[in-house]
Structure formats: C-alpha cells, structure tokens
Chains A and B, each alone.
Chain A
Amino acid sequence: MFNEMKMDDQIREPYRALVEWMEASGPEVLEQKRLEAETLFRKIGITFAVYGEGGDPERLIPFDLIPRIFTAGEWRKLERGVKQRARALNTFLYDVYHNAEIIKAGIVPADLVFKNAAFEPAVIGIDPPRKVYSHIVGVDIVRTGPEDFYVLEDNCRTPSGVSYMLENREIMMRMFPDLFKSLRIEPVESYPDMLLKTLKSIAPDKCDRDPNIVVLTPGAMNSAYYEHSFLADQMGVELVEGQDLFVSDGRVYMRTTRGPERVDVIYRRIDDAYIDPLCFRPDSVLGVPGLMNVYRSGGVAICSAPGAGVADDKAIYTYVPDMIRFYLGQEPILNNVPTWKCGKPDDLKYVLENLGELVVKEVHGSGGYGMLVGPASTKEEQVAYAERIKADPGDFIAQPTLALSACPTFVESGIAPRHVDFRPFCLVGDNIRLAPGGLTRVAMREGSLVVNSSQGGGVKDTWIMTD
C-alpha cells in the first residue's frame, strides 16, 4: 500500500513542512483544533442527509484535519488528464446525439448507447450552446503509487461535493493561518467565479444581454440542499425550485416580486427524469412544464444538458480511453482501472471464479450502494452476489481490488493511514477550467476502501503546492 506521507520510512517531500509543524505543535494542540473545526462545521450547518437511513436528516460529514497534499508536478499531470477526459466525454456526447461516428467506427457498441436508460432521444440532433453537454465533470481518481493514478469513474450529470472543497479550505485557513503563510498552497476560492463564468459562457444564442443564471434545486429535503444554496449564494444568483419557474412564449421566467424575470441559464441539480413533466415523468412536481421545448428551440441553456448521463455510465466508462484516442488522437494521460464487463461471457466466467479478489459494481449504481468488495466480504455474501450477477450479467462490471493509497488521518487511536480518493471538478464552457484542488474523500474505518459519504466516509482538504 502506498502511503502518501511516508515512503521507505522517509517523509515524502510534499508532507515535510506539515509533519514538522505537527511535531512542533504536539497532540494536544491538534486535538484542540479538531474540536474547534467540528464546532465550526456545526455552526455553519454543513450537513449531508443520507437517503433511506432515517436518523438525523441534517447530519455532519466527518472532516479530517490533516490535509492531503500534491506537488505541483503531480497536479500538472492530473490537470492535463482530467481536462483531456472532460473534452473527450463532451465530444462523445455531441457525437452520439448527432452522427454517432464512434458507433459507426465500431468502437462503442450501439446497444450500450442507444438502449442505455440515460440516453435521451428528446435531444437527438439538438445543438447545445458551444456543443457542451457536461459542464461540470467530476472525475474520481485513485492512486496506487508515486506515479500511478487511475480514474475510477466519471460524473457528467451533477457531481456534488464541491462545497466541501471550498468549506474545508475555509476552515483550514482559520485553523492554521501559520501554515498558509509559510507554505505556498494554491487557492481554490476562485471556483464559484469560474463556475459563474462557465455558466455565462453557455448562454443560448437567443440571449441578448448579460445572462440571468439560476440554480435549480429539488428543495430543502434533498441531501445536497446545503451545497445548492451555498453555490447560489457564492455566485450571487437565485436558488429556485421548479414552482418558481414557468414557460411563456418560448422562454423561461422566474416569478419575482417585481413580476416575471427571464432566465437564460439553468444550473439544475435535479435529474433528467424530473426536469419537465410534459416531456419526462408526468408525476414530477420538481420540474418545469414545457422546459424541454424551450431548451430545444434554444431559448434556455441547461447545465448539465439533458442526456449527458449517457457518458458517465459504468459500462461506457470502459470505452473512455478509446474515445480519447478516437476523438483527440491522443493517448490517455490518466488510465482507467482494468475492468471486466460481466456482459461478456469470458469476463463473466473470470469474475465469478475470482469474486474474492474483485470489486463488483452495478453499472447504473452510484454512491457506493449495492457493490461487493471481494476481500472484505464473507463467503455467503459472495454466493448471494454471484446469483445477482448471473440473473443479469450486463448489469455488472468488476475491477481488481486496487491497493488505494492512504493518507494520515485522525482516528480514535491517534493518527493512522486511511484510504483516500480524489474528485477534482472540471468546468467546460468557452474554456476548460479546473480549480487547483478537489475533494479528497477518506474511508474512516481501518482497511475500508469505501469512501462515499453515504457509507460513513469523511473528507479532507486537498493542497496543491506551487513550484
């Protein structure tokens, strides 16, 4: 296992100043800081609800005080790799809703795209502004060695967690002003500004003024409501619900105390199925009746574009390196994790024979639900899971259990290494932008590889050092 702080009993370069500072401060100071940080989080009210678990709907995500650190060199590679991926994914989306060249070339199977539940026939042939579908791409990256980074999955719809990246930094700067003064850490607070620029840049052609932007939330009961209100607040735009918007004469308006006000760009945090009851689920009260018609006629931009989800499906994921080669004529900078597709007979056989060593996931699942972590599972769990796979092989993929890197983390017994992953947020509009940072998630239990907040994972601040 790669420990990002220590290698061969040597403190690795990016962590040296931090370790020196921690040793000079002593455990009491750190414990004191930890308590202070928790109080701050409670006070700000950063919470995350977990569906279907009952209990406190306004629960805190565990925040770990020890930052995860990348050198400038490491970051440059990640940045290039993430941008390359975001560009390829958007090109793929434009392609599958237009000429489908990649399918004609026999690189991606037609069924995987056209029979995909996330494929949206309603937007075939539509040109979204700047031909961008996924404006915020969250790429989940894991590390297994000093130079070894793998992409675990892409999130092309509405990746969440960026508010933690910003709030974690805010808390860290309050807790450790000395460190921020003496070290050269790239700032991340430009993210809301970059997001606003990106959203403005995708205003529809019909928009003839400074575009009016809104964040569309399903409402206060949603688990990520805090993030929705935080982003709206940071960008200085309205946070609206479906009932606040209406369609009239081919445009979208919001109801304000001064009367109807036109809306040009909607950063929606609700799923495709709910955005327009006339077009999708008729029982949805979260969306805006008629929105899709306006979108199709270029009266409003929607971020992410309806139908963008077809690119972040776990079955499509396996083809992303091929997409990069096909569209960009480049070799992928970041590798995929080798993946077996249970829909292929040979792969299925291998997976069933090696369940104990593999991580198996549902193709359409997310949030760490419904997966099998082979080495951590019992024989009975494996047998039960094998039955599920056999019932519908095409619904599952498997990957080797990677030796995820670990970072020092505060746990009950003191400071110990815990496994981490990393999600930077890439913005795609007139430019491709990436704030120097991202969300580091950490599995708080010893040996656990599951970092999802819905499964008890925590978060860390991520520092990118300057040269």
Chain B
Amino acid sequence: MLSRTADNLFWLSRYVERAENMARLMEMGYRMALMPAVGDGNRSEWESVLSASGCHAGYDPNAPLRQEEVANFLIFSRENPSSIINCFEAARASARAMRTAITAEMWDALNSSLMELRRPSMHNLAKNELPEFIDWVKKQGALFRGSTDSTILRNDGYDFIRLGTFIERADNTARLLDVKYYVLLPETSMVGDGVDNYQWTTVLRAASSLRAFHWVYRDDYSPYRIAHFLILNPFSPRSLAHCAEQITQHLERLARHYGQRHPVHGQSVEMYSMLTQSDMEEIFSTGLHGFLSDFQGRNRALSAAIAETYHFGGQ
C-alpha cells in the first residue's frame, strides 16, 4: 500500500476520534460547571477544558473563559486546528484523496457529517443546546466507525484505520482524566467529599462509561475505582489498557501481513505491559497527572514510530 494512503487512513480515523473527544471534553466542562465552585479550585471549568484539549495556546487570552466562547472555539474556530469542524474537514479531505481505499459507506458517513456541520443552524444548536450538539458529534463518530467496521476489507488498510482510532482515543482518555487534575489540586487532598465524587462520575459520563462502570463495580464511586476503570481495566472500551491492547494487536497483524517486525512492535508491547503491571495505589501516590503526562508522551512517541516504520509522515 502507498505510504500516503496509510497516512490518510491513519489520520482520517484520528480526526474523527478527535472530533468526538472534543465533544466529550466539553460534556465534562458543561457538567462540572453545573456544580458550585470548589473552595481552592483556582481555575474555571472551561479553562480546564481548554487546557486538557491542548488548544489553550491558540485561544485569545483576552476572550472570556465562558462556555459560549470556549465551546465556539472548540467547535467552529477555523484557527483552531483541532476544532470539531476542522477535524471533519481534514477527515473528509483525507478520504477524498484516496477514494479507492475507502468504501462508499465510509465516504457517505464523512461527507454527510461535514455537510450537516457546515449548516448555519448548527451554530444555534451548539449555543443553545450544547448537550444535544455533543450527542450529535458522538453519533457521527459512531456512524463512521460502524460504516468502517461493516464494510472495509480486513487488510493492512484496516489496521491503519484502527491504529489511528486507538492512538487518538488513548490520548483523549488521558486528557479527560487530566481535566480533573486541572480543576482540583491536588487530587488526593479532598478524596471522598461530595463534589469530588461528582466530578469523578462526570469523567465517567463523558467517557460514556457510567453504566458500564456500574456493571463492573456496582456503586463504589471511589476515585481509585473510576481511574482504574479508565486507565487499567482492559474491558473498558475507552481505557488506556484497552487502547494499548488494540494498538499492539493491530501492529502484530501488520507484522504478520508484511512478514516483518520492527522496533515499533516492542515499543507497543512495552507500553501495554507498563499498564498491565501498574496498580492504582502506586499511580495515585506518585501523582496521577505525572502518570498521565508520561503515558501521553509514550503514546505520541509510538504514533511517530508507526509513521516512521511504515514510511509516512514527516517526509
């Protein structure tokens, strides 16, 4: 397969996943803002969302840190490369550049998402009914993944699509958990009080994992459990452990398909075993934020190694 095609497939799915995760971040900000401010929380919820999204640097320092302005920046800003509309634009552009590598259903899903998002009425929806808009974005992600899953050949192209999805998802779950860090410092000091618990369940909601969490842990909403569910639990579809497992599996498939192993395979196994061998106690005592930053660094390095191994990106 052409490296450019692999590159397009990888980034196409990363952008779709990123759009969805921008929406999930906003969902967290929206819900947290409904709670009374916490005593020593010295930053606003929307500023936390900005920080966790990685887009803070591009935000006008003089603009207010309110829902309307921040959400508009994260959804519609053309200047913000990770805004939801730019994610969909980039995904569709990648798709159009390799129409023969994706199915008609996948094209249709991407094309119709972008066409709908470009409508002026979407601005009103996002402004007046943010939760509904967030649901719409999540649905578009589901539509694309569903179309992909049910139509595309299970060849190397499929692996690059899935690698993009899980690299991006792992990054975003780490970001979701980090919002919590930005809102409340330090994590361990107020463990167990009402607001703290509410905020932790908000993280679960944004990860669409509240009900799944119930099934696994019943009603034990302790931060340990919640963080465990999103970091170490291999059964949770958005957990770092699950993402790392999927990444490793798809890299293995590529190694079999091409008949060649590379250092990137070891790198991915190492990231996965780092997660399977950690426990929450240890992560919390050394600091959740530090752990998440370290993970994001590994994940970024892995993404770059995949691109280098299969000869795309940075050429």
Q: Measuring CB to CB, which residues of chain A are less than 8 angstroms from any residue of chain B?
A: 43, 45, 219-220, 229, 232-233, 238-241, 243-244, 254-259
Contacts and interface: CB of A to CB of B under 8 A. Distances in A.
Contacts of B260: 258
B151 to A, nearest CB: 15
A45 B111 CA distance: 13
B2 A259 contact: no
Nearest to B260: A258
B11 to A, nearest CB: 14
A254 B100 contact: no
B156 A257 contact: yes
Given A254-B2, A257-B312, A229 B258 contact: no
Contacts of B1: 256-257
Interface string B1-36: 111101000000000000000000000000000000
B2 A255 contact: yes
B311 A220 contact: no
Interface in B242-286: 258, 260
A129 to B, nearest CB: 25
Nearest to B6: A257
Contact of A256 (B2, B104, B315): B2
> By DSSP majority rule, is chain A's interface helix, strand, loop, or mixed?
mixed
A238 B2 contact: yes
B258 A257 contact: yes
17 contacts: A43-B104, A45-B99, A220-B97, A232-B100, A233-B100, A239-B100, A240-B4, A243-B315, A244-B3, A254-B2, A255-B3, A255-B4, A255-B311, A255-B315, A257-B3, A257-B311, A259-B311
A240 B3 CA distance: 10
Contacts of A240: 2, 4
B310 interface: yes
B99 A257 contact: no
A366 to B, nearest CB: 26
- For the complex of A and B, list the 3 residue pairs with the smallest distance between their C-beta atoms, beginning with the closest: A257-B310, A255-B3, A220-B96
A258 B4 contact: no
A232 B100 CA distance: 9
A256 B100 contact: no
A258 to B, nearest CB: 6
Nearest to A232: B100
Interface string B120-162: 0000000000000000000000000000000000001000100
B4 A243 contact: yes
Given A255-B311, A257-B312, A244 B100 contact: no
Contacts of B258: 257-258
A238 B6 CA distance: 13
Given A255-B2, A257-B258, 9 more contacts: A219-B97, A220-B96, A220-B97, A220-B99, A255-B4, A255-B312, A256-B1, A257-B156, A257-B312
A45 B99 CA distance: 10
Nearest to B309: A257
In this complex, which of A239, A244, A257 has the most chain B Cβ atoms within 10 angstroms of its Cβ? A257
Contacts of B3: 244, 255-257
Contacts of B315: 243, 255
A56 to B, nearest CB: 13
A423 to B, nearest CB: 25
A255 B160 CA distance: 16
A25 B3 CA distance: 52
Nearest to B1: A257
A177 B53 CA distance: 57
A256 B104 CA distance: 24
B2 A244 contact: yes
A219 B99 CA distance: 11
A220 B93 CA distance: 9
A257 B100 CA distance: 17
A243 B100 CA distance: 18
Nearest to A239: B100
Contacts of A238: 2
B133 to A, nearest CB: 28
Interface in B287-315: 310-312, 315
A229 B311 contact: no
Contacts of B99: 45, 220, 229
A255 B312 CA distance: 8
A49 to B, nearest CB: 12
Nearest to A58: B96
B93 to A, nearest CB: 8
A229 B98 CA distance: 9
A384 B2 CA distance: 51
Contacts of B100: 229, 232-233, 239
A255 to B, nearest CB: 4
Contacts of B97: 219-220
Contacts of B4: 240-241, 243-244, 255
A254 to B, nearest CB: 6
B33 to A, nearest CB: 42
B96 to A, nearest CB: 5
Nearest to A258: B258
